[in-house]
Structures are given as C-alpha cells and as structure tokens.
C-alpha cells in the first residue's frame, strides 16, 4: 500500500514537466520587482484583463530581461506558463524595425504602443510548437522611456486572448495594488 | 545548437523494484513488510541523490559562459575567439563551439555562429555555420567555404546591422575577415550573450577547448566581458581564466 505512494511521490518529484529554468535568471517577488522599477525609474505594464482562471504565477529577473508569466494551472516556469511578457530595453527603435505580421499602433492615458503581431509563430516550448506573439515598443507617458516587450500566449489561447491582453495593458501598480 | 533542450531527469528503476515488491509483499509478517518498505524508500532516496549526473543527463552537454548575471552596461552583440579542435565524433552525433545572441529566453530564440562537426549535416568535416531559431522557425546556414582548420584560432562576431532586422555575422582569421553574412531575425533583440562548447554525447572529448577575448558590442566598441556566469554539464568542466576567457575539458 505504501509502496505505490512512495513510487508516486518519487515519480512526480523526478519527472516533472516543468523542470528548473536553464538560464541565469532568478524568480523574484512582486515587491522585489517594484524595488527594481523604483531604482530604475521604470514603468512596467501588465494585462488588466486576463482569460478566466489565469493569475500571476512568476516574475523572472536578470539584469537584461524581465519575464512575467501568468497561468491557469499554477505553472511558474517561464518557458511553459501559458501567458508571458518578456521585457527588455531593446536594441533598436520601432522606427528602425522592419515590419512583419500585422502592425499595431494605439495609445492609452498611460502608454504609446507600436509593434507587430503574429497569429501563429514557431516556439519549441509550446505544446503544439506554435504560439501567438506580439513584438511591441511601449513608451511610458510618465517616464518617456520606451521598453521592448514580447507578449505571447500558448495554446489553447490564441489571437483573441493576445489582443485582449495587449489592449488591457496598465501600470503594474494599478493591476496589482499594494 | 539545440540549446535549452536539456532537462535534467533521473531514471527510476521501477521494473526491478516492482518485481521485488511483489515477491516480498506475499509474506504475512507485517513488521517485515513495513521494514522492507522503509528500506526500499531509503534506497530510492539514496538512489535519487547519489545517481551520477553523467549517466543520467540527456544530451546536449554544454560547457561555457553566459554573459549576464549582474547589472552591466548595454550590450547588443557578441564577439569571441575560439581555438579550433577536431575531436572524434562517434555515430551520428555532433560537436559544436559557438557564440550566441539570445533574442528571447521565454521563447528560446537565438542567433548563433561557430563551427561544428555534425555527422548528420557535415559528415566527418569541420564546417562553419550560422544557426537561427526565431519566430519563423529553425534555420541553418552551413558555410561550405572557407572551412575551419584544426589548431587555428578564429574570431566570431554577431552585431546588429541596424536595418531590416539584420545581424552582421563575421568570421575572422588573424584580423582578416574570411566570411560575412547578413541574417534577419524576428524578433530583433539581445537579452543575453553566450559562449559555449556543445556535444550531443558525453563520449566526445573536448580537451583543448579555448575561448578567449569574449567581448560585448556597445554600439561603438567591443569591451571584454567583465563578468560571466559559468556552466558545465558533467562530464565536462571549465577552467575559468577570466571573465572573457576559459578552457574546457572532459568527455571521451
């Protein structure tokens, strides 16, 4: 009777589908992210409208990259959570970029958003091998700084959810109130 | 090459343990049963913690440096010198040494330049290559000429070309450019730099591996890496000379 339990615990602990992330990034808390944003005078924008059942599950940090993930199964691994925002400084301006996919441009009281959306694009971490992806340059009206965002959704989520997420971006402190 | 496919797992000898448990559980001495169950549990725990990584790690195997890991200046490209080795590659396996610009960690996108011996692609010959994995999928550019020569140091560089989402990829020998190409990626970003030796199996001996003058591109110049995050999968190991230089050994 106990033996199957031992096997079950052992099996779950050693053959998880969500192994540790193989890159020099570390999991940080929301408060730690707030401290980083404050130190860098940085605004970060996150979706205020998520599909039902999805919640913030992980914030991954390295000095050049911040990855914020949401999931409806509790998955915090940045590779396998179903919704992800990867935020960096970017190396070119939107004006220097070569258009691809569908071009998107809009403005809210908080941000000016410009970029490109791909309905179906390759990604080996996706269970189907495909994701919906947006590459965006988002300028904060408060700071005047532009950051580079890759926002994606994994199946079964698709373009509808990605579009909803993009158009619902708000400052992090408005979405996650202290 | 197949970066980040690696996932450490341990095998569970379930068949053997299952057979044994059936035989033992047929007895009627409950304390004996309990003791055996506890012993099996202990054995499982010990096996899990003591199993040698070499025997359990699936390929590929990496040995080298990540760039980021602490607050650093802005970087948008990479450059590094690699001494060319030519190890035996058994079966249909491969060996490669390269520098990489990571375009996205979450989506595992990158652009990479280096040299390889890949039985599936190059036969027994060493070849230079450029490899891209991005939103459009996986693409190879095997460079038929020139070919890398064993014992020679080549300098590999990837920098933004600042138009058409292209990267300028170059290979130099003794200060002279011997190959140049423009490669487009989507997305177009740089979230980390990497310099690694990679093998498909641990039986490939990479003794003699030497990466030096690892540099990052600032838009104006190429300062040497002033920090690094080392990583080596058993059976390989690193000798860290500086933030911008390492030797790697092992395998075979």
Kindly report, residue by residue over B84-103, the tens digit of the pLDDT. 999 999 888 999 999 999 99
For the cut 60, the answer to whether the pLDDT of residue B203 exceeds it is yes
For residue B27, pLDDT beyond 50 = no
Distance CA B169, CA B38 (A): 59
Residue B238's contacts (CB-CB under 8 Å, 6 or more residues apart) are B63, B64, B230, B232, B246, B247, B248
Please provide the average confidence, as pLDDT, over all residues in chain B: 81
pLDDT at A149: 98
Structure-token match 């559980």, residue found? B25
- Closest approach of B187 to chain A, Cα-based (Å): 7
Q: Is A127 on the interface with B (CB under 8 A)?
A: no
Confidence of residue B72 (pLDDT cuts 50, 70, 90): low
pLDDT tops 90 at residue B146: yes
Q: Find the helix or strand (DSSP H, E) in which B128 lies.
A: strand B127-134
Q: Which among A7, A14, A84 has CB closest to B10?
A: A14
pLDDT computed for residue A13 by the predictor: 31
Task: Report the residue from B4, B135, B192 with minimal CB separation from A64.
Answer: B192
CB contact under 8 A, B107 and A118: no
| pLDDT tens digit sequence for A45-78 | 999 999 999 999 999 998 889 999 999 999 999 9
Residue A86 CA: distances (Å) to CA of A89, A151, A172, B235: 10, 6, 14, 33
**What pLDDT was estimated at residue B59?**
77
Contact B4 A19 (CB under 8 A): no
Q: Which of residues 81-100 of A touch B (CB under 8 A)?
A: 84, 86, 88-92, 96-98, 100
pLDDT band at B40 (very low <50, low <70, confident <90, very high): low
Across the interface, whether the CB atoms of B191 and A92 are under 8 A apart is answered no
pLDDT tier, A16 (very low <50, low <70, confident <90, very high otherwise): very low
User: Which chain A residues are within 8 Å of B184, Cβ to Cβ?
Assistant: 98
Mutate: best of B71, B77, B105, B217, partner A, most A CBs <10 A: B105
Cα(B165)–Cα(B167) distance, integer angstroms: 7
DSSP state of B15: H
pLDDT digits (tens, 9 = 90+) for B174-189: 999 999 999 999 999 9
Q: State both tokens at A29.
A: 């808390």
Mean pLDDT of A90-107: 94
pLDDT at B211 over 70: yes
Burial of residue A63, with CB atoms counted within 10 A of its CB: 0-12 exposed, 13-18 middle, 19 or more buried: middle
What pLDDT sits at residue A131? 97
Question: pLDDT of A71-98, one tens digit each?
Answer: 999 999 999 999 999 999 999 999 999 9
> Do the Cβ atoms of A98 and B134 come within 8 Å?
no
Domain coordinates in residue numbering, chain B: 14-54, 59-250
CA distance B101 to B185: 11
- All domains in chain A, ordered by first residue: 23-175 (3.40.1000)
CB–CB of A19 and B8 under 8 A? Answer: yes
Q: Is the pLDDT assigned to residue A15 strictly greater than 50?
A: no
ipTM of the complex: 0.86
Backbone angles phi, psi at A74, to 5 degrees: 85, 10
pLDDT higher than threshold 60 for residue B53: no
- Per CATH, the number for B59-250 is 2.60.120.200
**B41 contacts A6? CB cut-off 8 A:** yes
Q: Which residues of A touch B14 (CB under 8 A)?
A: 7
Render pLDDT for B147-159 as a digit per residue (tens, 0 to 9). 999 999 999 999 9
Going from the C-alpha of B175 to that of each of B64, B128, B155, the distances in angstroms are 24, 17, 8
Q: Do A62 and B69 touch (CB under 8 A)?
A: yes
Closest approach of B70 to chain A, Cα-based (Å)? 6
pLDDT at B201 exceeding the cut of 50: yes
Beta strand B94-104 with A83-88: parallel, antiparallel or unpaired? unpaired
Q: Is the pTM of this model over 0.90?
A: no
- pLDDT at A150 exceeding the cut of 90: yes
Size of interface A-B (CB pairs under 8 A): 135
Find the CB nearest A91 among B8, B160, B164: B160
A27 has a chain B CB within 8 A of its CB: no
């Amino acid at each position: 009777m106990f033996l199957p339990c031992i096997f079950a615990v052992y099996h779950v602990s050693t053959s998880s589908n969500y192994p540790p992330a193989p890159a020099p990034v570390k999991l940080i808390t929301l408060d730690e992210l707030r401290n980083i944003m404050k130190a860098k005078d940085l605004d970060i924008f996150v979706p205020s409208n998520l599909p039902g059942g999805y919640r913030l599950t992980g914030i991954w940090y390295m000095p050049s990259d911040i990855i914020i993930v949401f999931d409806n199964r509790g998955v915090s691994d940045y590779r396998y959570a179903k919704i992800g925002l990867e935020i960096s400084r970017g190396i070119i301006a939107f004006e220097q970029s070569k258009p691809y996919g569908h071009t998107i441009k809009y403005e809210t009281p908080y941000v000016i958003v410009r970029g490109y959306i791909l309905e179906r694009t390759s990604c080996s971490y996706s269970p189907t091998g495909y994701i919906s992806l947006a590459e965006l340059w988002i300028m904060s009206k408060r700071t005047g700084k532009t950051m580079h965002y890759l926002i994606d959704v994994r199946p079964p989520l698709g373009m509808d959810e990605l579009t909803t997420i993009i158009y619902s971006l708000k400052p992090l402190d408005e979405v996650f109130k202290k | 090459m197949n970066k980040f496919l690696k996932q450490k797992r341990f095998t569970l000898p379930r068949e053997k343990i299952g057979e044994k448990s059936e035989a033992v559980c047929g007895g009627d001495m409950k304390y004996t049963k309990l003791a055996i169950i506890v012993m099996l549990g202990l054995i499982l725990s010990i096996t899990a913690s003591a199993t040698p990584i070499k025997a359990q790690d699936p390929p590929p195997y990496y040995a080298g440096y990540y760039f980021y890991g602490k607050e650093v200046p802005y970087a948008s490209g990479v450059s590094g010198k690699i001494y060319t080795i030519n190890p035996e590659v058994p079966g249909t396996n491969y060996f490669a040494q390269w520098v990489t610009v990571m375009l996205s960690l979450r989506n595992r996108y990158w652009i990479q330049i280096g040299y390889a011996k890949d039985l599936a692609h190059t036969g027994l010959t060493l070849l230079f290559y450029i490899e891209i994995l991005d939103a459009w999928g996986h693409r190879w550019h095997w460079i038929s000429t020139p070919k890398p020569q064993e014992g020679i140091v080549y300098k590999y560089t990837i920098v933004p070309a600042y138009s058409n989402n292209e990267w300028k990829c170059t290979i130099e020998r003794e200060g002279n450019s011997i190959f140049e190409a423009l490669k487009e990626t989507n997305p177009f970003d740089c979230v980390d730099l990497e310099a690694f030796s990679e093998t498909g199996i641990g039986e490939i001996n990479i003794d003699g591996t030497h990466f030096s003058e690892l540099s990052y591109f600032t838009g104006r110049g190429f300062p040497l890496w002033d920090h690094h995050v080392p990583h080596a999968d058993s059976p390989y190991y690193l000798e860290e000379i500086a933030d911008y230089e390492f030797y790697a050994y092992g395998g075979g």
